[in-house]
Amino acid sequence: ALPSQSAPSGALPGLDAATLSSLKKLTQYYAVTAFIALMIGVLLGPLQALNYGGINVYDYPLLKVLIKSYYQGLTLHGVLNALVFTQFFISGWMLYLPVRDLNVRPNMRFAWFTYLMMTAGLLTAAVPLLTNDATVLYTFYPPLEGSPVFYIGAAVMVAASLLVAGQVVWLWLAWKRAHPGRVTPVVTYMSVATWLMWVVAALGLVIEVVVMLIPWSLGLTRGVDPLLARTLFWWTGHPIVYFWLLPAYISWYAFLPRQAGGRMASEGLTRLAFAMFLVFSVPVGLHHQYADPNVQNSWKIIHMFLTFLVAVPSLLTAFSAAASLEDAARAQGGRGLIGWVRRLPWGNASMTAQVLAMVSFIFGGAGGIVNASMAFAPVVHNTAWIPGHFHITVGTATTLTFMGVMFWLVPHLTGKRLASPRVALASVWWWFTGMMLFALGMHWQGLAGVPRRAQVSASAQQGVYDAMHLGLPKMITAASGIVLFIAAILFYTVLWRTLLSRRMDDPESTPIPTSEAISAAGETLADASPLVRRTEPLLALTFAALVLVILVYGPVIAPMLTNYQFIPGQRLW
């Protein structure tokens, strides 16, 4: 049980045993579906790494049976890993945590409905992806035109996640009504702030897909405006990366300190970071469109400065996470300026996964600041540098954290014991090493001008690629693919062996590792600090976020609407 758990009050039924068991099963379904998607997506990754190592495997007849082209594989890889894996895991995780934290009883029929709806959306979108009818990459930029079935499936998936958001916000509001004057417990605070951010963020994508892409791909309109579509896409596309990151931050703030033997630094600071993400995550999308014509430079510059602003809560997180790890290590006798690091419980695979995820994010975040700088952007945009950047953000900071979380979450949900903790530990080191090598090779190649999204190993492009003399980074990239393949085999061996084993314990004997705080927020708003009081009204902050988005997107989008271009679709595959 969580320490912040509140007693059920008259109007609000608490969790009973039957509901809890159904909720655990649902969370397990979300998480396992997520990891099945990741497994398929990750099988394709090493082939792409070989491509960036100059080795073309896409002509092998056996592979040709499964995927028609490099680009069909890349579309599956991007969609399954970045869109499906994340969304399923997060929807389960960020429903489960606040419900446990508040001890309220959710409507389980509705909760199961959202899972079934999301899965239906996934299966729908999977059909055109697998039949090579929607080889449009995970950004599906028009005028590339995929089957309408793909866009419809994707829309259903996103809609399902918005229903989960609605359910969590609803439960939180009910708790607020039943507990007037109380401070929202911190795990719930982080979850609700993230969900509300996602609601504001998703508006762009929803409009793009529902108003533009679906009617167009059904042949109901004579064309589509690529610039407007891209702009709406990145309205969602940037904050979606925080929708992937913040659930990992929840673990770094609330659970990792306890797993390391320490405490969360400050609940007030944690709330400030999430409040800032809620307000500043969305109005920054133009940093993906510096190279796009017909967008005024002044707006690109404003989005650049707002991007630097939204890096601040991540810097707060770096400070706070380092402080709680140091607190943990010193409590176990750690000494020295950095010598204390050795006293962290490195034998624990779940902790190790998350600390390594954090280390990767130091480099991922620094690279992000480079991407966002308009002076550097032309050097790195559309080069292999960019996949280098996001495999140590979403591919490691997020993915390796979720892998680490699974090591305690599966036992907690099922009562099964983690199979081979030592293999689990090895898998996270292999993943971390593989991704760091991958990032090194890809950033390096990118600086030399190697493009992303290119089958550089295919004969048509091989000559140019060879002329670049990139022997070493190519070798590193190819090797990283092999290392990551081994990491994946180790990880999935542990996961499937755990899931297929027999139930051994009462699931609650593996508790949620909720950390105490060195500086807590307090129980009631009346006793709380001004910071805690001012960060409490999440709906007002959401409104502020919406106003800011309208301010910085209104003048960008308005001229695109008055000058709408009807561009016919293309199928390049």
Question: Between residues 102 and 394, which has the closer beta carbon with respect to ligand HAS?
Answer: 394
Task: State the amino acid at position 572 in one-letter form.
Answer: L
**Of 100, 258, 288, 389, which is the active-site residue?**
389
| Residue 219 CB neighbour total at 10 angstroms | 9
453 catalytic residue (yes or no): yes
Cβ atoms 551, 300 nearer than 8 A: no
What is residue 448's DSSP assignment? T
- With a CB cutoff of 8 Å and minimum separation 6, the contacts of 372 are 287, 304, 307, 308, 311
Helix axes 186-207, 267-280, angle to 10 degrees: 10
- Mask for 310-349, x = binds ligand HAS (CB under 6 A): -x--xx-xx--xx--x---------------x--------
Phi-psi label, residue 198: left if phi above 0, alpha if psi -120 to 50, beta otherwise: alpha
Give Cα separations from 252 to 263, 350, 488, 501 (angstroms).
Answer: 11, 11, 23, 29
**Residue 46 binds ligand HEM (CB under 6 A):** yes
Q: Which does 448 bind (CB under 5 to 8 A by kind): ligand HAS, ligand HEM, Cu ion, none?
A: none
The b-or-e profile of 342-369 (16+ CB within 10 A means b, else e) is ebbeeebbbbbbbbbbbbbbebbbebbe
CA distance 208 to 195: 20
DSSP 524: B
Minimum distance, C-beta of residue 50 to ligand HAS, in the bound complex (Å): 20
Pick the closer one to ligand HAS by CB: 339 or 471: 339
What is the C-alpha to C-alpha distance for residues 338 and 469, in angstroms, rounded to an integer?
Answer: 39
Residues 203-242 interacting with ligand HAS (rule: CB under 6 A): 241
Catalytic residue among 274, 290, 390, 402: 390
Q: CA angle 256-406-72, nearest 5°?
A: 120
When CB distances are held under 5 to 8 angstroms depending on the partner's kind, the choice from Cu ion, ligand HAS, ligand HEM, none that residue 362 binds is: ligand HAS
The answer to whether residue 417 is catalytic is no
303 contact choice in ligand HEM, Cu ion, ligand HAS, none (CB below 5 to 8 Å, kind-dependent):
none
Which of ligand HEM, Cu ion, ligand HAS, none is residue 529 near (CB under 5 to 8 Å by kind)? none
Binding test (CB under 6 A) with ligand HEM, winner from 204, 237, 285, 395: 395
User: Smallest gap, in angstroms, from Cβ of residue 126 to ligand HAS?
Assistant: 21
24 Cβ contact list (under 8 Å, min separation 6): 96, 413, 414, 507
525 in helix, strand or coil?
coil
Tokens of 548: 């800011």
Q: Which of 35, 96, 242, 491 is catalytic?
A: 242
Q: Which of 27, 48, 498, 514 binds ligand HEM (CB under 6 A)?
A: 48
Q: Is 85 in the site for ligand HEM (CB under 6 A)?
A: yes
| Number of chain positions touching ligand HEM (CB under 6 A) | 26
CB-wise, 124 or 194, nearer to ligand HAS? 194
Q: Which residues contact 421 (CB under 8 A, 6 or more apart)?
A: 349, 407
For 420, other C-beta atoms within 10 Å of its C-beta total 15
Q: How far is the CB of 237 from ligand HEM (least distance, A)?
A: 11
Q: Taking CB under 6 A as the rule, does residue 244 contact ligand HAS?
A: yes
From residue 229 to residue 248, what is the string marking binding to Cu ion with x (rule CB under 5 A)?
A: ---------x----------
Quick check: 387 binds ligand HEM (CB under 6 A)?
Answer: yes
Q: Which one from 453, 497, 533, 534 is the annotated catalytic residue?
A: 453
Is 77 tagged catalytic?
Answer: no
**Residues 172-182: b if buried by 16+ CB within 10 A, e if exposed:** bebbbebbeeb
Residues contributing to the site for Cu ion (CB under 5 A): 238
Residues contributing to the site for ligand HAS (CB under 6 A): 139, 241, 244-245, 287-288, 307, 311, 314-315, 317-318, 321-322, 325, 341, 355, 358-359, 361-362, 365, 368-369, 371-372, 377, 380-381, 386, 389-390, 393-394, 397-398
Residues contributing to the site for ligand HEM (CB under 6 A): 42, 45-46, 48-49, 52, 74, 77-78, 81-82, 85, 137-138, 387, 391, 394-395, 399, 438, 452-454, 481, 484, 488
